[in-house]
Amino acid sequence: MEDEEMMDFDWTEKYRPSTLKDVVGNSSQLEAMRKWAEMWAKGVPKKRALIVDGPPGVGKTSSALALAKDMGWPVVEVNASDTRNAASIKDIVERGAMFDTFTLEGNFVSHKMGGYKLIVIDEADNLFGNEDRGGSSEIVKVVRKTRQPIILIVNDYYQLTSRSKGIQFMTERVRFSRLRKTSVVRVLESVCSAEGISATAGALDIIAENAKGDIRSAIKDLMALGMGMERLTEEDLLALSYREREESVFDLLALTFKGTDSKLMREKLYLVDETPDSLLLWYDENLPLQYKKPDDLCRGFDALSRADIYLFRVYKRQNYALWGYANDMMTEGILKAKNEPYTSFSKLEFPTWLKKMSSSKAKRALRRSVAKKLGNYIHLSKREVEKDFLDYFSALLKSKSQLQIGMAKELDLTAEELGLIIGKKPDSSHVKKVIEEAERMASNETAPTVFDSYNEENVEQDTKDEVKEESTQSQKSLFDF
């Protein structure tokens, strides 16, 4: 009862589309989702999971739920923001993906007979953030083994795939785009009709314009303004404040490379959640891919190099006011570098440097961990060890198994740390053997050794000799008389 009341109160839930036919926009994407779902009728397909990515509020989750209803599949829905750890993901998703299902009447249905259920993981890209505690690896395992269809809903496709390249090959991608203003207006008209609200075309046009293609935001704005009203006009929208929406860096890049409107590009710049030094990497990676004429390319890189100089001065002088100049050189400078707009499409690429840093993050963390342990052992700073000693230490250990065991014990090395030092996989038999031997030695360290027994016997013998000597010295001889 409470859920029904909540649904009536929340118009985004009340008017959520129940079938794919009711979903507005992204028609080709919806057809791709339907074809992927229909493949399950022939058995478990090669691509067992579907990644649906795109900006917030464009109907990704609604489309997934509508697809399940069209296919007659029950839904197991997980929000990765609420259950962001390996245990909860494994508990909820793995059981749903690995085991067969029951009908609403309680009858068992095998997946071989088409008894599927849809696993929907919303905001799956959050599993790869700083707070992740193994959930991302569980997702990869589940996708690899699942006997049930899985849909991963993400806002940032690159965040999801940058930490786990394998997931790209195991999944099919469907990318949603922002809705056109006319499509948003059409949905708002339908909601107004159902709620008995007479809204002017101008009022709905303003709401749709402010939504920037986000249908969920548009419906929420309409609900905030129109609930309990019979008529809605432009004057009623004065209370509607402009909602700043975080824009994608791809939108900014596309506007810079393809557009000519400086004002619109500057507005986009303020909505992009990227620092100037990060933007520099994006422009540096994509400038040679987008500008084909040598003169345009030369002027573009000249502007980019000047932006780099300003960024250097920011950190050198701690004068962050220069960030504005760097932004202007990157955006305005590159925008004005072309003599005429480029109309041909060229794919925008993720910065190579960021890719490499992301892929090597775990390795660099291991190096720092080993350097800290070795530094404590030889009384040097972590920085000195990592810079001057770690490579020599690695070369020294590679061919000496006994030394590996000894240092693993003394430094309390993990399998990952030892594997990094000697250039072997952490789960290799050699690394496992060394770690096991080191742990055995550490556990037996308090037990008496051969050397300890030898030393104890020597101490006892020395004590007896000293007592005997003292006794001999205290005994009187004939010369004492």
7 to each of 2, 57, 73, how far by Cα in Å?
Answer: 9, 17, 22
User: How many CB atoms sit inside 10 A of residue 11's CB?
Assistant: 20
pLDDT tier for residue 480 given thresholds of 50, 70 and 90: very low
Q: In this structure, is the dihedral angle defined by the CA atoms of residues 192, 197, 202 and 206, taken in order, positive or negative?
A: negative
Instruction: Give yes or no: residues 57 and 121 share one domain.
Output: yes
Give me the pLDDT at residue 128, please. 54
Does 363 fall in a domain? no
What type of residue is 300?
G
CA distance 308 to 326: 7
Under 8 Å between Cβ of 141 and 97 = no
What type of residue is 23?
V
Does 260 fall in a domain? yes
CA distance 10 to 5: 9
Does 9 fall in a domain? yes
Summarize pLDDT for 331-385 with one digit per residue, the tens.
999 999 999 888 776 778 888 887 777 667 778 888 888 889 988 888 888 888 8
Instruction: Give yes or no: residues 215 and 331 share one domain.
Output: no
Contacts 24+ apart (CB under 8 A), 257-265: 257/286, 257/287, 257/290, 257/291, 257/334, 257/342, 258/290, 258/341, 258/342, 258/343, 259/335, 259/341, 260/335, 260/341, 262/332, 262/335, 262/336, 265/331, 265/332, 265/335
Q: At 149, phi and psi to the nearest 5?
A: -65, 140
Residue 223's domain is classified under what CATH number? 1.10.8
Instruction: Give yes or no: residues 169 and 194 share one domain.
Output: no
Instruction: Give yes or no: residues 1 and 112 share one domain.
Output: yes
State the average pLDDT over residues 195-206: 90
Residue with tokens 């990704």: 60
Does 148 fall in a domain? yes
Instruction: Give yes or no: residues 269 and 193 share one domain.
Output: no
Does 469 fall in a domain? no
Give me the pLDDT at residue 173, please. 92
> Three-state DSSP class for 166?
helix
Instruction: Give yes or no: residues 239 and 254 share one domain.
Output: no
Q: Which of 225, 244, 263 is the last residue of a domain?
A: 244
Q: Which of 18, 96, 103 is nearest to 64 (CA)?
A: 18
Instruction: Give yes or no: residues 280 and 263 share one domain.
Output: yes
DSSP conformational letter for 403: H
CA distance 189 to 348: 36
Does 305 fall in a domain? yes
Give me the pLDDT at residue 100, please. 53
Based on its alpha-carbon atoms, the radius of gyration of the chain, rounded to whole angstroms, reads 33
Instruction: Give yes or no: residues 38 and 127 share one domain.
Output: yes
**Which residues form the domain of 376?**
370-457
Angle, CA of 67, 248 and 327, to the nearest 5°: 180
Does 481 fall in a domain? no
Instruction: Give yes or no: residues 47 and 91 share one domain.
Output: yes
What type of residue is 333?
G
- The secondary structure of 359-392 as a DSSP string is HTHHHHHHHHHHHHHHHHHHT--HHHIIIIIHHH
Instruction: Give yes or no: residues 446 and 409 share one domain.
Output: yes
State the average pLDDT over residues 35-58: 90
Instruction: Give yes or no: residues 51 and 151 share one domain.
Output: yes
Residue 72's domain is classified under what CATH number? 3.40.50.300
Question: Residue 183 is encoded by which pair of tokens?
Answer: 């499509």
State the average pLDDT over residues 246-253: 74
Q: Which of 350, 383, 398 is the last residue of a domain?
A: 350
Q: Specify the range with the lowest mean pLDDT, choosing from 184-188, 355-359, 393-397.
A: 355-359
Q: Which of 227, 244, 261 is the last residue of a domain?
A: 244
Residue 203, by phi and psi: left (phi above 0), alpha (psi -120 to 50) or beta?
alpha
Q: Specify the range with the lowest mean pLDDT, choosing from 32-36, 44-48, 363-367, 379-383.
A: 363-367
Q: Which residues, including other chains, have CB under 8 Å from residue 388's CB and lie 6 or more apart?
A: none
In total, how many domains does the chain have?
Answer: 4
Q: Which of 244, 247, 262, 251 is nearest to 331 (CA)?
A: 262
State the average pLDDT over residues 327-333: 91
CA distance 102 to 116: 9
Does 462 fall in a domain? no
Under 8 Å between Cβ of 146 and 139 = no
Instruction: Give yes or no: residues 235 and 135 share one domain.
Output: no
